[in-house]
A = this chain, B = another copy of it.
Amino acid sequence: MRQVLREITLKTSGAGLYEFSREAHAFVASAEMETGLFTAFCRHTSASLVIQENADPDVQRDLAAFFRRLVPDGDPLFVHTMEGPDDMPAHVKSALTQSSLVVPIAQGSLVLGTWQGLYLFEHRHAPHARKIVLHVMGA
């Protein structure tokens, strides 16, 4: 049993989904494990991770639109407003999705379904550099 760890940075330019399946697949391939467990962890609380369909880009747009309507910017419910009208909604959207994604590895590859992609879900409007830690453990 071995482990490999890597941090990647994704640059974002506004709220929405940013796919990092390619980086994840390359990382897993380079680890050369037959069987194992893959984890991606987002080191932020105003961005998060989701697994979503990567066939039709409209899915990603609709997903972001739903969250924008569910947790609107500038909601008067929020007291924490110092960092901008999109900051507290970003924390809520992060809580509603994931900080980490965990995917088993079989026959050397992530066991993702045909249409599953890994996404960073950016919740802030300003450009950000988001750090994601990738980890595998296996043999």
Contact = CB atoms under 8 A, between A and B. Distances in A.
Interface of A: 1, 3, 5, 7, 35-37, 39, 41, 43-46, 50-53, 56, 58-59, 61-63, 65-66, 69-71, 75, 77-80, 82, 88, 91-92, 94-104, 106, 111-113, 115-116, 131, 133, 135, 137-139
B103 A41 contact: yes
B77 A69 contact: yes
> What is the count of identical protomers in the complex?
3
A99 B100 contact: no
Dominant SS among interface residues on chain A: mixed
A59 B46 CA distance: 11
Contacts of A133: 104, 106, 111
